[in-house]
Amino acid sequence: MEESGNNGLESGEMHNTHPKDFVCPITCNIFYDPVTIETGQTYERSAIQEWLDRGNSTCPITGQKLQNTQLPKTNYVLKRLIASWLEENPNFVTDKADSAAVLTSPVSVISQASINRSMEVRHAISNIVSSEVLEEAESAVLCVERFWLEENVDVEIQHMLLKPPVINGLVEILINSVDLQALRATIFLLSELGFKDAAVIQMLTRVESDVDCIVTLFKSGLMEAVVLIYRFGLSIQCLQEMDLAGSLLNVVKKKEDVNKMQLSPKSAAVILLRKILGRSKEGSMIAVAVLAENAIESILVSLKAKQVEERIAAVGILLRCIQEDGKCRNMIADKADLAPILGSFMEVSNGEQFEIIMFLSELVKLNRRTFNEQILQNIKDGGECSTMHSLLVYLQTAPKDQCPVVAGFLLQLDILVEPRKSSIYREEAMDVLLSCLGNSDFPTAQISAAETIMSLQGRFSTSGRPLARYVLLERVGFAKGCMKPKRRDNNSSGPGDVELSIKAEERSNDEWERKMAFVLASHNFGLLFEPLAKGLKSKYAALFSACFVSATWLSHMLKVLPDTGILDAARVCLLDHFVSIFVTTTDIEEKALALLGMNSFVHQPEGLQYLSSNTKDIMRGLKELRRSTALAFEMLKVLCEGEESSAELWSHQELFLVDCSKNGEVLSIAYLKEQIISGHSDGTIKVWSVGGTNLHLLQETQEHSKGVTSLAIIESEEKLYSGSLDKTIKVWSLGSDVIQCIKVHDVKDQVHNLVVSKTIACFIPHGAGIRGYSWGGESKLLNSNKHVKCLNLVRGKLYCGCHDSSIQEVDLATGTVSYIHIGSRKLLGKPNIVQSLQIYEEQLFSASTTLDGAAVKIWSMSNNSVIASLSTAMDIRTMAVSSDLTYLGGRGGVVEIWGRDKLNKIDTLQTGRICKVACMTLNEREDVLVIGTSDGRIQGWGL
């Protein structure tokens, strides 16, 4: 019986114990209306509703943020389970307090829970201040952090936390703790308290070691500490000395977790990084690091940040990166969301507004005009307020040095449509540009205005550099291919798509250039040309250069713009400057640009009259450029109409004459840069420097024992080859002033008329044929059935002029011999020898006697046909050919000059002695002719 009674007691106790899952964790009572929220926790409906009504937005148990504060339907499964359990345990309720009391609203219980929680936090704060056990302090700070995140912290608790002893206690934890969770909680609390009361930051910065501690923690990987460092408001110099850039970049690049701080670590890092960048050398290195670390995309995200300060900081960083490496602007332009920046424009300071303008104006310096215009259109339409109106308002009060950039950017936005008859934006922008360009009291603004106008031409390199200068040089005939657009990507676009894209870009470029040139040139009937002309006289190289390019470009564009009388205004302001620059400059590109500028007016009666009156001054420059550009040649023809003026156009003036008759005949001559090398019949070689109208002997050497018949130069190897009747070929190194023999080849035969390449030498021996000699020492006889008089070697093919008037082509690779001219038998018993062969581009010039009709014949090398001839009575012994002229030298010491264009005899040069012109050569610029004579003289003429 006793045993049975004990079992019954145990059974009753068991039945009176309720399952813990049936009890609300807030009320500690059995559920009446259970609801299960999104975290998986179940609460009494009335209890959790009151919890939420008090402003809480987290789960009371897990502390997780609730995304939805609307309570779900009743958990009927749990409610039925509780009801079933209560039916099986009817004594459970009767053994407790009244059932209604158990299941009533839990308000009083929540209030008690809140009181208990408050007491817990107060105790934790006390431990932070007074506990000497680090673990207790760490637990206390974690408790306070949880309370801060879970509760709406009342003013009394905040006041307790803001007291200096608590702040000091938190700093002590930072100094001593190694627990990462506790350190993060401490940093979080200090940051949040710092936002509540600036006195917290003052307390922290008052002690230098506290700041150092926080910086050290940040650099060690505690990225949340960056928020405190931001709040410290340290100077740029101080931040740079702390060497924070690397750590800041790490925070910027790191993908952020859910942020619980008032300011996110990334936002603080971006702002600090911008502050450190500044304009120093260190800033340049940091910009390079941003690019190298591939952090650009992370910075771009900050353009959309909630904090305006972060957006502006991102703009500053991106601008500095573009300035450091312009190639990154393409990626920035592709991915940047500009709307938030434009929306912030009116909210920020003047300095920050200008930084936004600088960023946007740099962004539209892409090498794709269509993309540039798309971005400009997005900027124009993207702001909440009118972007153009905002820019206009800023321009009207901007400092002088900022005005040109703002005006230039406003002008680009204004001409997105066809220029209108009137536009307040255009008028204001043009007035500002003109004012800045003409104000010599502000040279910085002058240079900026000139460079802005130059960049408005609209073509840029991949790095964002204006290409106006190179475009103009290309139009003159220089800088070939510099403007080819680059493909945007490597996707599946075929050759046809690429070609269409290039054509679309070219059309877009041309249209933009036309519209912009019209706006600039037509403003107030060409008023811009006056300050541009003044800039051409400036002592500042940057101002002169930008004005020169802009003046040349706009003058050139006037030919394709509607004729509104602006051309006269441009001519009055600029033509004399173009002529002056053309005549005086030694820079070939400046000369070419001045030529393009002059050409804008050459077909205008007044312009032609002015140029004709200065013909003598500009003639030398035109002759210098005639080989490089057809434009110079066309202007030469315009200025020198008719046969009478052609002699003046190609007039030659004697430069020097030296007598070397003691060394016998001058058998060979070569011209290299500013040096002349001569070979003489006594075996002497002389090196001369050309100085104006004088020759100065630099070196005289007699390594050969007999006449030096040939001199050949391979400039790329800096070597000279001399062939002699002493049966040797000598190799010389070319120094700055002297030559030195470095190799002697004994070729076992007299050397007449030597030609060389990197692998072989060919020369005319004493007898028949041609001797081929490889530099390795091997020798063989070519074309042994012909007596050859003269040679020329071009692209592996040897051209031979023979005693029977035939001209042959020998392929050195295959040994194949073919005829350009078969030749003829002797007429009247006299041989008809080909005395000289010259090759210029794709034409071959041969000189012989006039017995078969013409002394000089010009052959097409493509089909071996005669395309022209020169009839002269002189006995030709040597020739020289330039791009415009053919020089013939022979007996009597006479040199005839023939034009290649009209095949007319232009002039005759006299040596003044009865002799034979034995050899002749031209300098690289083809404006100096040098001859060697049989009586030992060297004579030179200049165009």
Q: What is the pLDDT of residue 855?
A: 85
Residue 738 has pLDDT above 90, yes or no: no
More reliable by pLDDT, 352 or 644: 352
Q: What is the sign, positive or negative, of the torsion defined by CA atoms of 821, 822, 826, 830?
A: positive
pTM: 0.65
Cβ–Cβ under 8 Å, residues 30 and 93: no
**Do 20-88 and 111-233 have matching folds?**
no
Q: What is the pLDDT of residue 646?
A: 56
| DSSP annotation string for 17-62 | SPPGGGB-TTT-SB-SSEEE-TTS-EEEHHHHHHHHHTT--B-TTT
Cβ–Cβ under 8 Å, residues 889 and 637: no
Percent of the chain with pLDDT over 70: 89
Q: What is the pLDDT of residue 279?
A: 58
Residue 283 has pLDDT above 80, yes or no: no
Which of 571, 574, 593, 573 has the alpha carbon at shortest distance from 582? 593
Integer Rg of the chain from CA: 46
C-alpha span between 765 and 724 (Å, rounded): 11
Q: What is the pLDDT of residue 649?
A: 66
Q: What is the pLDDT of residue 95?
A: 41
Residue 663 has pLDDT above 60, yes or no: yes
Token couple for 16: 């009176």
Instruction: Give the least confident one: 7-16, 26-35, 119-128, 140-149.
Output: 7-16
* Residue 437, CA distances (Å) to 396, 496, 514, 555, 574 in order: 17, 45, 22, 18, 16
Given its phi and psi angles, is residue 664 left (phi above 0), alpha (psi -120 to 50 degrees) or beta?
Answer: left
Q: Write out pLDDT tens, residues 342-360.
A: 989 989 999 999 999 999 9
Q: Write out pLDDT tens, residues 424-448.
A: 999 999 999 999 999 999 999 999 9
Q: What is the pLDDT of residue 651?
A: 78
Cβ–Cβ under 8 Å, residues 779 and 772: yes
Q: What is the pLDDT of residue 273?
A: 92
Residue 711 has pLDDT above 90, yes or no: yes
**Residue ranges of domains in the chain:** 20-88, 111-233, 653-942
C-alpha span between 512 and 142 (Å, rounded): 64
Residues ≥6 apart with Cβ < 8 Å to 750: 724, 725, 726, 727, 765, 766
Residue 558 has pLDDT above 60, yes or no: yes
Token couple for 567: 């051309």
Burial of 938 (0-12, 13-18, 19+ CB in 10 A): buried
Q: What is the pLDDT of residue 501?
A: 72
**pLDDT band, very low/low/confident/very high, at 25 (cuts 50, 70, 90):** confident
Residues in the chain: 943
Q: What is the pLDDT of residue 438?
A: 94
Does domain 111-233 fall under CATH 1.25.10.10? My reply is yes
Q: Write out pLDDT tens, residues 83-134.
A: 888 888 877 654 443 433 344 444 444 555 555 666 778 888 888 888 888 9
Pick the most confident of 373-382, 480-489, 569-578.
569-578
Mean pLDDT across 276-297? 77
Residue 404 has pLDDT above 70, yes or no: yes
Token couple for 402: 């900022």
- Strands 739-746, 728-734: parallel, antiparallel or unpaired by DSSP? antiparallel
Cβ–Cβ under 8 Å, residues 246 and 290: no
Q: What is the pLDDT of residue 288?
A: 82
Determine the 3-state secondary structure of 544 from DSSP: helix
**pLDDT band, very low/low/confident/very high, at 15 (cuts 50, 70, 90):** very low
The CATH code for residues 20-88 is 3.30.40.10
Q: What is the pLDDT of residue 98?
A: 40
* Residue 840, CA distances (Å) to 104, 861, 886, 900 in order: 113, 10, 10, 11
Token couple for 485: 């657009």
Q: Write out pLDDT tens, residues 842-894.
A: 899 999 876 655 789 999 988 889 999 998 888 899 999 988 899 999 888 89
Domain 653-942 homologous superfamily, CATH: YVTN repeat-like/Quinoprotein amine dehydrogenase (2.130.10.10)
Cβ–Cβ under 8 Å, residues 401 and 448: yes
Percent of the chain with pLDDT over 90: 53
Q: What is the pLDDT of residue 828?
A: 57
Mean pLDDT across 580-607? 93
Q: What is the pLDDT of residue 641?
A: 65
Q: What is the pLDDT of residue 97?
A: 39
Burial of 295 (0-12, 13-18, 19+ CB in 10 A): buried
Q: What is the pLDDT of residue 171?
A: 93
Q: Which residue, chain included where needed, has tokens 């926790």?
A: 41
Determine the 3-state secondary structure of 692 from DSSP: coil
**pLDDT band, very low/low/confident/very high, at 617 (cuts 50, 70, 90):** confident
Mean pLDDT across 276-282? 70
More reliable by pLDDT, 464 or 153: 464
Token couple for 427: 């008028």
* Residue 458, CA distances (Å) to 299, 365, 453, 518 in order: 28, 8, 10, 13
Residue 389 has pLDDT above 50, yes or no: yes
Whole-number mean pLDDT of the chain?
86
Token couple for 412: 């680009």
Q: Write out pLDDT tens, residues 920-939.
A: 999 988 889 999 999 999 99
Q: What is the pLDDT of residue 117?
A: 66
Residues ≥6 apart with Cβ < 8 Å to 47: 24, 26, 27, 105, 106, 109, 110
Q: What is the sign, positive or negative, of the torsion defined by CA atoms of 207, 208, 209, 213?
A: positive
More reliable by pLDDT, 125 or 383: 125
**pLDDT band, very low/low/confident/very high, at 154 (cuts 50, 70, 90):** confident
Q: What is the pLDDT of residue 111?
A: 53
Q: What is the pLDDT of residue 529?
A: 96
Residue 258 has pLDDT above 80, yes or no: no
**pLDDT band, very low/low/confident/very high, at 483 (cuts 50, 70, 90):** very low
Instruction: Give the least confident one: 439-453, 550-564, 827-841.
Output: 827-841
